[in-house]
Structure 1
Amino acid sequence: MERASSRGEGRHTAQLSIAVALGVLALKWGAYLLTGSVALYSDALESVINVAAALAAWWALRIAALPADEGHPYGHTKAEYLSAVAEGVLIVLAALGILREALPALLAPQPVSLPPLGLALSVAATLINGGWALRLLREGRQLGSPALLADGQHLLSDVVTSAGVLLGIGLALVTGWHFLDPLLAAAVALHILWNGGQLVAGSVGGLMDAGVDAPTQAHICELVRGHGGGALEIHDLKTRSAGRLTFIEFHLVVPAQMTVEAAHGICDRLEDALAAELGGVRVTIHVEPQQEAKAERGGESGEAAIWLGPG
């Protein structure tokens, strides 16, 4: 089960993200006003999306923390995927807005300037975003939070594009090729568009009950083999993720003469091992007698069955 402290920690981080996003937006908008750069405009516009994304992540974490109820017996953790999908859509819209500004400027490039204050504001905003993105990614992995991970990935992408924007403006000033400024803005837009599409695709997979990744699936099988002593086989292993929770279910085949108490003891041992190793899991085990086994005794485990009994 999830710890309340972990859920509270995630919400606190999301609240701080809102403040950080607002601060970075002010810095980037100031840099744009000082320079008139289309590329810096595109960077500032993405920061508007960062604010909206931080608000969406905070809302999703509040909903996800609600306990299971009669209408939602599996909890509310999938709300985090809704936040990630919304963030992806907002990113796509921002990219389209940047392209709308960049294409006319590319056809009629205008000189840009990069005063020291504008440069300092842009660099400061990029450094703040970079540090906060690393924190979001670290806590997102620790808490298993799709909302925090999506926010961190977006901010990290923002850092990369900001660095590219500054490079483009610098090259435009050094070479006198003013078209580099809107060209970099268009490149930023395409990068943002790709990032938004990836976020939407990954989050939709969670909403569609996609199974865990191959390494996690293999780890689950190893844990079952290591802690399933006394049972004969498991089959029909299924997994799905819902936010920071992982649901695992399978059929456990035991000797026909085994008592209910003994079979229940094996189930408890397996559930405890999976929870200790993976954290945030809900395990459902259906116990069956020996005649329901799918793998041949002594044979290799098939794709749908893992033999646990003596070889």
Structure 2
Amino acid sequence: MEKSDIRTVQRLALWGIPFAFFVMGLKLVAWWVTGSVALLSDAMESSVNVIAAIVAFAAISYAAKPADKTHPFGHHKAEYLSAVLEGVLIVVAALLIVKEALPAVFAPTRMDAPALGLAINFAAAVCNAIWATVLIRAGKRYRSPALAADGQHILSDVVTSVGVLVGLVLAILTGYAVLDPLLAVLVALNILYQGWKVITHSVDGLMDHAVEPEEAEAIKAAIAANATGSLGAHDLKTRRAGAATFVDFHLVVPATMPVGQAHDICDRLEDAIRAVQPGAQIAIHVEPETEQAHGIKVKIERIIR
């Protein structure tokens, strides 16, 4: 990732903190004027957004640190740790909502000033929808797991808010006050599901997941088209750590080829791979044809695993 891209991601993460406080404030006002348990549950989820925004900013800032002696491959995976923590916080929020909602199921009360409260909560949902779209797009563009996870979480908050608003309108029209706490329980179940998705996706990233299939094919094509002078390549491996992509493979060359010539081929291959996978960290193991595994001849235009 370029330095300008890193700064953009950090700025977005930083702005997420005051934005999260602002939206949480709106939802708390909506709950205060209505006394709705469902709106309280929605506000409690937003309190998790505040913590998650702070954690995401800290993780993104740490992940941007350059490699050092103790972390020679960089600090990219810090973003995955942030996303895992965010998933755990989402689950905790869901449990707290259930704790608040269950007693109200057996003793429901009518809302005060419902129109004003719902209008305020709707405004908060619109703000969240816009911000979630910005974060998700930026997360995909800059390959930032923390930013993408934060955006997905906020998007789930939007879905929750819309569901709460629709349900509360029905509760007002039908006069069934019990719908309010029941909605809060449904909100909690949805939050649990979203938290589980965030955690599993982030843990998968910590396990050195390979690049997407179409990206792997582009890397193979780049190698095949630029390996002229070699006998082929094999044992291609890729992995992703946050915004960083790692590519590793073996390049087979004639046993009599000078080191300088083999080095020139490697330089050409690195440029070609970075053209399709910007910023990739590449390790090419040059080996003579006599060392090729099982003596299998590998043609340049065919990359085998």
Once the two structures are TM-superposed, the CA of residue 159 in structure 1 deviates from its matched residue by 0.6
Q: 1:249 to 1:18 in 2, by over 3 A?
A: same
Native 8 Å contact 1:113 1:173 kept in 2: no
Task: Tell me the secondary structure at the aligned position of residue 190 of structure 2.
Answer: helix
Give 2:287's aligned residue: 288
Q: 1:129-148 maps to which residues of 2 (within 5 A)?
A: 129-148=128-147
d(CA) in 2 for partners of 1:17 and 1:128? 12
Identity of aligned residues (%): 51
Task: Tell me the secondary structure at the aligned position of residue 66 of structure 2.
Answer: coil
Give 1:105's aligned residue: 104
Once the two structures are TM-superposed, the CA of residue 158 in structure 1 deviates from its matched residue by 0.6
Once the two structures are TM-superposed, the CA of residue 297 in structure 1 deviates from its matched residue by 5.2
Once the two structures are TM-superposed, the CA of residue 256 in structure 1 deviates from its matched residue by 2.3
Give 2:46's aligned residue: 47
- TM-score where L is the length of structure 1: 0.92
d(CA) in 2 for partners of 1:45 and 1:285? 50
State how many pairs are aligned. Answer: 303
Q: 1:152 to 1:297 in 2, by over 3 A?
A: closer
Which stretches in structure 1 are left out of the alignment for 5+ residues? 305-311
Amino acid at match of 1:9: T
Task: Tell me the secondary structure at the aligned position of residue 240 of structure 1.
Answer: strand
Give 2:34's aligned residue: 35
Asked if residue 188 in structure 1 is aligned to residue 187 in structure 2, the reply is yes
Q: 1:55-74 maps to which residues of 2 (within 5 A)?
A: 55-74=54-73
Task: Tell me the secondary structure at the aligned position of residue 246 of structure 2.
Answer: strand
Native 8 Å contact 2:231 2:300 kept in 1: no
Q: 1:187 to 1:303 in 2, by over 3 A?
A: farther
Give 1:24's aligned residue: 23
Task: Tell me the secondary structure at the aligned position of residue 258 of structure 1.
Answer: coil
Once the two structures are TM-superposed, the CA of residue 12 in structure 1 deviates from its matched residue by 0.8
d(CA) in 1 for partners of 2:219 and 2:180? 51
Q: 1:238 to 1:3 in 2, by over 3 A?
A: same
d(CA) in 2 for partners of 1:302 and 1:74? 26
Once the two structures are TM-superposed, the CA of residue 282 in structure 1 deviates from its matched residue by 0.3
Amino acid at match of 2:110: P
Give 1:176's aligned residue: 175
Asked if residue 163 in structure 1 is aligned to residue 199 in structure 2, the reply is no
Once the two structures are TM-superposed, the CA of residue 231 in structure 1 deviates from its matched residue by 2.1
- TM-score where L is the length of structure 2: 0.94
Which stretches in structure 2 are left out of the alignment for 5+ residues? none
d(CA) in 2 for partners of 1:78 and 1:63? 10
Q: 1:105 to 1:175 in 2, by over 3 A?
A: same
d(CA) in 1 for partners of 2:187 and 2:74? 38
RMSD of aligned residue pairs (Cα, Å): 1.8
Give 2:74's aligned residue: 75
Q: 1:69 to 1:99 in 2, by over 3 A?
A: same
* Range that drifts further, 269-278 or 42-51: 269-278
Native 8 Å contact 1:112 1:169 kept in 2: no
